[in-house]
Amino acid sequence: MQFTIDHTCPHSDARTGVIKTAHGDIQTPVFMPVGTAGAIKAVTMEQMEQETDARIILGNTYHLYLRPGIEILKEVGGLHRFGTWSKPILTDSGGYQVFSLAAMRRITPEGVTFASHIDGSKHLFTPERVMEIERAIGADIMMAFDECCPGDASYAYAKQSLDTTEQWLDRCLKHLEQTPPLYGYEQALFPIVQGCVYPDLRRRAAEHIASLGAPGNAIGGLAVGEPTDKMYEMIELTNSILPKDKPRYLMGVGTPANILEGIARGVDMFDCIMPTRNARNGQLFTWQGTINIRNAKWRTCHEPIDPEGTASTDHRYTRAYLYHLFKAQEITGLTLASIHNIAFYLDLVNQAHDHIIAGDYPDWMRSVLPALARRL
Ligand code: PRF
């Protein structure tokens, strides 16, 4: 995997670049739509290709391991083939989903035992096991197995948690050195900086990870209940230490404003369930602000879903029609709203990209933030 930086912003830490993977190039900054169980909820792969500019999608180790299970994935040669997605895939390690979804989880230095949220069956995730699973899924980018501690964790808890995450990272790396990829192409491991909101822990984690020379690095443990200012402070601190010439991925973040602020602080990659989950609740992101399509004010609005939208469905269908679909609980409503929001998030990072190149990124960001925060 290779990362080249094409442009750096003279007024902020923003940059544009390209990540080269075995399944194609990824222009950065990039937003990665979340396909937890190997599907972007409510959207087909054809629609992802034709209606959005998605360049890489995310899968979750925790979910794919529980269902369909890695034997099925191995039989077909991995998730790219299983889901017919030929562009890059990144897998999260389960180090977050186990903590947010599984019941009865118990963390030991060895790993995490947990009960499946599907049938209550018991499982053990160790760093070695997670690497095996991510290899079998066939992700181009595999995330290290980490513990994400809550935004309000005590210093003592956060420190112990970071010790565990660092030991698990060493074990992930060692396991990968000793085992070849299953499908013959390169699968890059990204370490994850944890450390909660404690500057000395973040610094220690970032320095350790910077010394490893990984092909890319991630910032985890943010957007988990801490104040937004703290999140930005931790991003700045972490990015001041992580290598500049490697892609930086801010995990699970966030709102359109969070993404633009992250880009200004040198982040290249983002993922978040917000565009897809909020779409299913009727919330649409636009350059004019967010709208809730279930609001009665849209019942008679015969204007396009989004006159500025990049998806053809944004222009083909009207707000009144989408309002009707939501009211009638027609599942096509979920599809149209999800396509819209994914296309919007990709447009957001693409416009950021163009303004970094134009040299006016911070001014442009400041000019669009007020409208993005509006509720229409
Ligand atoms: N670790 C992992 N996945 C994540 C996170 C993390 O800290 C977050 C935190 N925002 C989202 N997804 N492995």
Q: pLDDT value at position 141?
A: 98
What does the mean pLDDT of the chain come to? 97
- Residues with Cβ within 8 Å of 296's Cβ and at least 6 positions away in sequence, in order, are none
- Ligand 1 contacts CB of residue 146 (under 6 A): yes
- Ligand 1 contacts CB of residue 111 (under 6 A): no
Q: Is residue 339 situated within a structural domain?
A: no
Atom of ligand 1 nearest to the CA of 220: 7
Q: Is residue 344 situated within a structural domain?
A: no
Q: pLDDT value at position 283?
A: 98
Beta bridge partners of 59: 91
Q: Is residue 301 situated within a structural domain?
A: no
What's the average model confidence in pLDDT over 164-180? 97
Domain count, the chain: 1
- Which residues belong to the annotated binding site? 92-96, 146, 194, 221
Tens-place pLDDT, residues 222-276:
999 999 999 999 999 999 999 999 999 999 999 999 999 999 999 999 999 999 9
Distance CA 89, CA 189 (A): 12
Domain assignment of residue 257, given as a range? 2-272
Phi/psi of residue 127, each to 5°?
A: -55, -40
Q: Is residue 321 situated within a structural domain?
A: no
Q: pLDDT value at position 105?
A: 86
Per the annotation, the verdict on 92 as an active-site residue is yes
Which pTM does this prediction carry?
0.98
Tens-place pLDDT, residues 183-235:
999 999 999 999 999 999 999 999 999 999 999 999 999 999 999 999 999 99
Q: Is residue 40 situated within a structural domain?
A: yes
Q: Is residue 353 situated within a structural domain?
A: no
Q: Is residue 232 situated within a structural domain?
A: yes
Q: Is residue 14 situated within a structural domain?
A: yes
From 53, 92, 306, 347, active-site residue:
92
Per the annotation, the verdict on 119 as an active-site residue is no
- Residues with Cβ within 8 Å of 145's Cβ and at least 6 positions away in sequence, in order, are 93, 94, 95, 111, 125, 126, 127, 130, 131, 168, 169, 172
Which CATH number belongs to the domain containing residue 75 in this structure? 3.20.20.105
- Ligand 1 contacts CB of residue 83 (under 6 A): no
